[in-house]
A and B are shown apart, each in its own frame.
Chain A
Amino acid sequence: MYQLTGVTKLYHKDRQTIPAVQDLNLTIEDGEWLAIQGRTGSGKTTLLNLLGGLDQPTQGSIELDGTSLGTLPETRLTRLRAQSIGFIFQTFNLIPTLTAAENVEAALIPLGTGQPGRRARVTAALESVGLADRANHLPAELSGGQQQRVAIARALVKDPTVVLADEPTGNLDEDTRDDIIGLLERLWRDRSLTLILVSHDSAIARLAQAVAVMTDGHVTTRQDSPNP
C-alpha cells in the first residue's frame, strides 16, 4: 500500500521555483488500479517518479508497505526497484542494441538470477505478452505495439508488486492502444498487481478502478470507477 502525506516536489530553474507537486495526500491500496489524469504539466509524471523512487520529494513522506522511500539509502532504493517495482514508459525505453529477450533479461540482472533461470523467466514473460516468436528481434525490427509489449514483459518478468505506467499508449494508434490496455488489464487481474497508470485519455482512465485528477500539482478529485 502506498501512503503519501504532504508530498511536495519543487524544481529550481535559474531563479525560479517550479512546484511540480504540492502538498499531495494520497492512499493507494494493494492490488488497486489507479489511473491518474490531468493536463500536461499537472505533475503526473513527477508523481509517478516519486512513487517509483526515481526522484525524492522536497517535503512530505512517501511510504510503500510502511517503508519510507525518502529515508532509504540509494542502494536500498535501487534494490526495491529491482525487486518490487516495474516501469512502463511512453517511449518504451528499450535498449536499442539488445534483442527483445535481452531487454526483458536486463530487468533480471540486478536480482542475480543465474542464466538458465533468467532464460526461462524471459521466455514465460514474452509468452504472456504474445511475443515469444519475436525474442531475437531488435527494437528497431518491432512495431510500436510490439515494443510496448516487450516493455510490459520487462516490467513484469520480476513479478513486481507495483507497476507504474506513464502514458503507455501515448505513442500508439487506437487499435494498438486497445490491445495494450487490454493486455495490462488482463495481467493486472491475473497477478493482483498494484497498477498506477498515468494517461490523459479519459477512455483509458475509465477502465481503472479509481481515477485521480491532478491540477497544478494537486490531486483535485479522486473517484472510484464502476470497473470492479
Chain B
Amino acid sequence: MFFLTYLRRELRRRLHQAIVVALGLALGVGLVVTVGAAAAGVNKAQADVLGVLYGVGTDVTVTGPAAPAAGSATAGNGTSIQADYSPVSSAEVAAVAGLHGVAAAAGGLLLTDTTDTFPRGSGHPGSGPPATGSASVNGVDTGQLALGPLSAATITSGHSLTTADAAADVAVVDSGYAASHSLTAGSDITIGTVRFTIIGIAAQPQAGNPPDFYVPLAAAQALQLAGGSAGTGDVNMIYVTAASAAGIPAVQHEITRLLPHATVTTAASLASQVTTSLASAAKLASDLGRWLAVLVLIAAFAVASLLTMAAVARRAAEFGTLKGLGWRTRRITAQVLGESAVIGAAGAALGVGLGFAGVTIIATLAPKLSVTVPPPSAAFAQAAGQVLPPAPGAAAPHAVAVPLHPAITVGVVVLAAILAMAGGLLAGAAGSWRIARLRPAAALARVP
C-alpha cells in the first residue's frame, strides 16, 4: 500500500515528464503496430491474388511446356477447345504425389474454350468478321478439392463440386462471368459442345483473374478430346502441397529432377512475377517500415532512460534520506522500477491506440495497390519465363486495384505492449543503476 501510494504521488508530481516518456514509447509502439498491420494486410492481399491462381494450400505447381499455338480443329458451331499447356500424365501425377516431402498432389487441366460468333449475313459481301469470345475452363480433381484455384473461392450460390460429381457434366461458374452472362445456379451452359448444369457460383478475391468455369477433371478431359484438341486426356497442371513450408525448396528440386521437361514454380516465384507491385509494397512495409519502427523505438528508449536518470539525480537527497532511514537499495530501486513500469504500461496502451488509429488512416487514405493479373495459364508461364501465345479472344492481363486491409493481429499487439514495457523497465534500470552507485552521505549533501 505504501509502495503504491508513494508511486502514485511521485508520478503525479512529475506528470509532465511521465507523459512525455509515455508518449515517446507510444509513438514507437504505434509505429510497430501500424507497420505490422500494414505488412500483414499487404501479405494477405498478395495471398488473395495468388490464391486465385494457386488455391489455398498449394505450395508448388507443375506445368508442362506451353502448348503449341492455336491450330486445333473446331469442333463445330465455331468452337474450339485448346489446352494451355502440354499434357502431364496421370502416372507423373502419382509419381509426384509419392515424393518425399509431398503431402498431397492433384492434377488439373487448364483449357480455353474459344467461340466464333458469325454475324447475320456472314459470308456475303459487306458482312462483318466473326466475333471471337473465349472462356477459361479449369478441370478440377474432385478427389482433391483442397488443392487448386477452386479451394480459394467462396460459393455464393448453389454448392461447389463434390467427389460425387467426378463423372458428371456439372460446372461451377465464376461470379463475374455469371453476372456478365446472366447465369445462375440451376441453369445450363454449353462449353465446347457439351451441355453442363451450373451447380454453383463461386467468387474469388477481387484481385484475382480466375477461371470462368470449374468442371470435374473427367469432364474437362472429355471436352479436350471432343473439342478436337490433340490432348491425351491427361492433365496439364499438378498442384502440390508440401509437408512443411521449410521443405518447399526441396520438393521443388525433387519434382524438377523427376520431370525435367516440366516447369515447376512455387508461390514465391509466382508472386514475384504476378504481384510485383504488391511484393514491392510488402518489401517497403517489411524493410523500411520495420527499420523506421526500430529507430523510433530506440530513440524512445533513449529518451525514457535519460529522463529517468535525470529524475533520479534530482531525487538524490530524497533517496539518500531513505537510505539513512534504513531503506535497502533494492527497495528504492523497486520504487523507481515501479514508476517506470507504470509509464511503460501507459505507453503500451497509448501505443496500441495510436496503432489502431494509424491502421484506420492507412485503410482510409492509402492509395489502392495495383496488380496486373494475367489469365491463370499465362501467369504460370510468365513465372516460368515462358511466353504463352494468347488464345484468340482470350482475356487479356488486366490491372486490378487491390484494396489494402491492414490487419492488426494479437501477436503484434502483444509484441508492441512488451516493447513498451521493456522500454519503461530499461529506463527504470538505468535509474536504478544510478541509485545503486549513490553514497548516502554524498546524496544527502545535495541540496534538493
Binding site for B on A (CB under 8 A): 46, 49, 52, 54-55, 74-75, 78-83, 87, 89, 91, 93, 95-98, 102, 105-107, 109-111, 115, 154
Return chain B residues, CB-CB under 8 Å to A87: 321, 324-325
> Which candidate, B2-10, B69-77, B204-212, is the interface stretch facing chain A?
B2-10
Residue of A nearest to B9 (CB): A97
Residue of A nearest to B445 (CB): A45
Could you list 13 A-B pairs, sorted by A, with CB under 8 Å?
A: A54-B441, A74-B329, A78-B328, A79-B326, A93-B321, A95-B321, A97-B12, A102-B5, A105-B2, A106-B2, A106-B325, A110-B325, A110-B326
Having A54-B444, A55-B441, one finds 6 other A-B pairs with CB under 8 Å, namely: A49-B441, A78-B323, A78-B328, A96-B13, A107-B326, A110-B327
Complex Cα gap A110–B321 (Å): 13
Residue of A nearest to B440 (CB): A54
| A82→B325 contact, CB < 8 A | yes
| B10→A78 contact, CB < 8 A | no
| B448→A102 contact, CB < 8 A | no
Return chain B residues, CB-CB under 8 Å to A105: 2
Tally of chain B residues near chain A (CB < 8 A): 27
Main DSSP-derived SS at the A contact region: helix
- B246 interfacial contact with A, CB 8 Å: no
Q: Which 7 A-B pairs have the closest CB atoms?
A: A82-B326, A97-B9, A55-B441, A110-B326, A54-B440, A93-B321, A49-B441
- B195 interfacial contact with A, CB 8 Å: no
| A83→B13 contact, CB < 8 A | no
| A95→B318 contact, CB < 8 A | yes
- B331 interfacial contact with A, CB 8 Å: yes
Complex Cα gap A78–B13 (Å): 28
Binding site for A on B (CB under 8 A): 1-2, 5-6, 9-10, 12-13, 317-318, 320-329, 331, 439-441, 444, 447-448
Complex Cα gap A111–B325 (Å): 10
| A106→B322 contact, CB < 8 A | yes
Complex Cα gap A105–B6 (Å): 11
Return chain A residues, CB-CB under 8 Å to B320: 54
Residue of A nearest to B324 (CB): A87
| A109→B328 contact, CB < 8 A | no
- Cross-interface CB contact of B447 among A46, A49, A91, cutoff 8 Å: A91
Complex Cα gap A87–B327 (Å): 13
| B5→A81 contact, CB < 8 A | no
Residue of A nearest to B322 (CB): A106
Given A54-B444, A81-B326, decide whether A98 and B331 contact each other with a Cβ distance below 8 A. no
| A107→B9 contact, CB < 8 A | no
| A102→B440 contact, CB < 8 A | no
In this complex, which of A55, A83, A97 has the most chain B Cβ atoms within 10 angstroms of its Cβ?
A97
| B439→A75 contact, CB < 8 A | no
Return chain B residues, CB-CB under 8 Å to A89: 321, 444
Complex Cα gap A105–B5 (Å): 12
| A109→B324 contact, CB < 8 A | no
| A52→B324 contact, CB < 8 A | yes
Residue of B nearest to A110 (CB): B326
Question: Could you tell me the distance in whole angstroms from the C-beta of B174 to the nearest C-beta in chain A?
Answer: 70
Complex Cα gap A111–B6 (Å): 17
Complex Cα gap A89–B448 (Å): 13
Return chain A residues, CB-CB under 8 Å to B329: 74
Return chain B residues, CB-CB under 8 Å to A97: 6, 9-10, 12-13
Question: Could you tell me the distance in whole angstroms from the C-beta of A12 to the nearest C-beta in chain B?
Answer: 13
- Cross-interface CB contact of B324 among A74, A75, A81, A83, cutoff 8 Å: A81
Return chain A residues, CB-CB under 8 Å to B440: 49, 54-55
Return chain A residues, CB-CB under 8 Å to B12: 97
Return chain B residues, CB-CB under 8 Å to A111: 326
| B326→A115 contact, CB < 8 A | no
Complex Cα gap A58–B385 (Å): 83
Question: Could you tell me the distance in whole angstroms from the C-beta of B334 to the nearest C-beta in chain A?
Answer: 11
Residue of A nearest to B325 (CB): A107
- Cross-interface CB contact of B325 among A74, A91, A96, A154, cutoff 8 Å: A154
Complex Cα gap A82–B324 (Å): 8
Question: Could you tell me the distance in whole angstroms from the C-beta of B383 to the nearest C-beta in chain A?
Answer: 67
Complex Cα gap A37–B29 (Å): 59
Return chain A residues, CB-CB under 8 Å to B323: 54, 78, 81
Return chain A residues, CB-CB under 8 Å to B441: 46, 49, 54-55
Given A97-B13, A109-B331, decide whether A54 and B326 contact each other with a Cβ distance below 8 A. no
Question: Could you tell me the distance in whole angstroms from the C-beta of B310 to the nearest C-beta in chain A?
Answer: 17
- Cross-interface CB contact of A54 among B1, B9, B324, B328, cutoff 8 Å: B324
Complex Cα gap A83–B328 (Å): 13
| B321→A98 contact, CB < 8 A | no
Complex Cα gap A105–B322 (Å): 12
Complex Cα gap A115–B444 (Å): 28
Return chain B residues, CB-CB under 8 Å to A82: 325-327
Return chain A residues, CB-CB under 8 Å to B444: 49, 54, 89, 93
Complex Cα gap A91–B447 (Å): 9
